[in-house]
């Protein structure tokens, strides 16, 4: 059931209300390490459980959540890089993680369905909703869906495997796609354990996506993946093979790694690589144009914590060369005060980063000096 509710939060009032909490967040942001010439600030400091991000042509940032069950609209009317209000456009949803914008409507992926808010930019205070897909597979585990609009005009949807390592029933363990009205639903990429972030190469239109490696194989195996899928129908190995060359201890004897697509790049094990975007803005130095920014949510079951940062991936044509730390500092020793989830390139070239632990969205800019 959905309870649309306008919950406009003026940030000036919020700052007075939270007082020391705001000062604490400002102090924490000062600990974020960035390359020389970059700076980070709070774009919206109070967005509980902020996860996936989508942008409308009007400049409104829509935000999905997981445990909170809410969807937000973050509004920066004067385009000064600091949002004036946060509007709760829906409450009581089931894991509304995925958000995508298409032709005036916001699409939201819940665990069990896809819904659509039509003409939402003009109806933030009184949104209307319709169901697009009524019956996504129900599951326990990896049920939070990532969603994005592809260059082919179709909605792409991550359907995680309902387990750590099992042989899932299709379409689970895949990236699927469909028309915006829910028709022509099909699996695009199979053998995907849990993708919570994907984007399309701005020149080739090819799909690239992150995928989380399985657990209970040790601290350092298998690696999280960055994958490239230039066409439909490819299989990336789950649950038989991980990271291109690691047979699964339970299922690996059934099919060899040679049958599957290898990753474009291997991240560290358990870093939880989630949201990713190709950088096509003009604000950052030229060397960053065409790179992939990836939010690493951070480990939860490793002996020593890793991730909790944003990395940039250098490309050489259609080959991923290496990942470099870009923004670090959410992890202090073994204590993490924040967990990056998604990234979004804004029209001015700034990079937004969502954080579901701190409940905030940050803005990273490059100096124009």
- 282-320 pLDDT, tens per residue? 999 999 999 999 999 999 999 999 999 999 999 999 899
pLDDT digits (tens, 9 = 90+) for 255-285: 999 999 999 999 999 999 999 999 999 999 9
Q: Residue 10 has what pLDDT?
A: 34
Task: Please report the pLDDT score of residue 26 as a whole number.
Answer: 64
Residue percentage of the chain with pLDDT more than 90: 90
Q: What is the pLDDT of residues 321-351, one digit of tens each?
A: 999 999 999 999 999 999 999 999 999 999 9
- 3-state SS string for 144-199: CCCEEECCCCCEEEEECCCCCCCCCCCCCCEEEEECCCCCCCEEEEECCCCCCCEE
Are 314 and 324 spatial neighbours (Cβ–Cβ below 8 Å)?
yes
What pLDDT is attached to residue 106? 98
Decide if pLDDT at 114 tops 80. Answer: yes
pLDDT band at 4 (very low <50, low <70, confident <90, very high): very low
pLDDT confidence of residue 369: 57
Measure the CA–CA gap between 263 and 242, rounded to whole angstroms: 9
What's the gap between Cα 135 and its chain centre? 23
Of the listed ranges 16-30, 138-152, 163-177, 187-201, the least confidently predicted one is: 16-30
What pLDDT, on a 0 to 100 scale, did the predictor assign at position 24?
Answer: 64
Residue 319's CB is within 10 A of a number of other CB atoms, namely 10
For the chain, the domains span 9-366
**Closest to 210 (Cα-Cα) out of 195, 222, 230:** 195
Average pLDDT, the chain: 93
For 18-77, what is each residue's pLDDT tens digit?
A: 434 555 666 789 999 999 999 999 999 999 999 999 999 999 999 999 999 999 999 999
Distance CA 255, CA 126 (A): 52
Question: CB atoms < 10 A from the CB of 234, how many?
Answer: 17
Tokens 């959905």 found at: 2
Confidence of residue 148 (pLDDT cuts 50, 70, 90): very high
Whether residue 1 has pLDDT greater than 50: no
* Virtual torsion, Cα 86, 92, 98, 103, nearest 10 deg: -70
**What's the CATH architecture for 9-366?**
6 Propeller (2.120)
Enter the pTM of the model. 0.93
The pLDDT of residue 22? 56
Segment 198-222 mean pLDDT: 97
Q: Mean pLDDT over residues 209-226, rounded?
A: 97
Q: What is the distance of C-alpha 343 from the center of its chain? A: 7
């Amino acid at each position: 059931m959905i309870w649309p509710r306008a919950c406009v939060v003026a940030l000036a009032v919020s700052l007075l209300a939270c007082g020391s909490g705001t000062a604490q967040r400002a102090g924490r942001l000062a600990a974020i390490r960035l390359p020389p010439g970059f700076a980070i600030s709070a774009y919206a400091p109070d967005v509980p459980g902020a996860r996936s991000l989508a942008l409308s042509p009007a400049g409104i940032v829509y935000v999905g959540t997981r445990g909170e069950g809410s969807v937000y609209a973050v509004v920066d009317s004067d385009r000064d890089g600091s949002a004036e209000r946060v509007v709760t456009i829906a409450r009581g949803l089931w894991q509304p993680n995925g958000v995508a914008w298409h032709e005036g409507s916001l699409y939201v992926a819940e665990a069990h369905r896809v819904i659509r808010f039509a003409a939402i930019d003009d109806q933030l205070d009184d949104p209307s909703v319709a169901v697009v897909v009524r019956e996504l597979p129900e599951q326990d585990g990896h049920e939070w869906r990532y969603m994005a609009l592809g260059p082919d005009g179709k909605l792409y949807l991550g359907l995680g495997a309902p387990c750590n390592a099992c042989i899932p029933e299709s379409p689970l363990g895949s990236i699927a796609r469909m028309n915006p009205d829910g028709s022509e639903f099909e699996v695009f990429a199979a053998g995907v354990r849990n993708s919570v972030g994907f984007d399309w190469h701005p020149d080739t239109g090819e799909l690239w996506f992150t995928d989380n490696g399985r657990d209970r194989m040790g601290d350092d195996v298998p690696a999280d993946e960055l994958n490239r899928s230039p066409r439909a129908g490819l299989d990336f190995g789950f649950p038989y093979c991980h990271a291109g060359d690691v047979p699964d201890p339970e299922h690996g004897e059934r099919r060899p790694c040679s049958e599957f697509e290898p990753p474009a790049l291997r991240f560290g094990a358990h870093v939880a690589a989630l949201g990713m975007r190709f950088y096509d803005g003009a604000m950052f130095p030229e060397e960053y144009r065409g790179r992939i920014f990836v939010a690493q949510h951070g480990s939860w079951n490793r002996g020593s914590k890793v991730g909790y940062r944003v990395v940039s991936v250098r490309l050489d044509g259609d080959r991923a060369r290496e990942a470099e730390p870009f923004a670090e500092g959410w992890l202090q020793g073994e204590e993490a005060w924040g967990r990056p989830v998604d990234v979004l390139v804004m029209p001015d070239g700034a990079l937004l980063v969502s954080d579901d632990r701190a409940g905030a969205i940050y803005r990273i800019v490059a100096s124009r000096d």
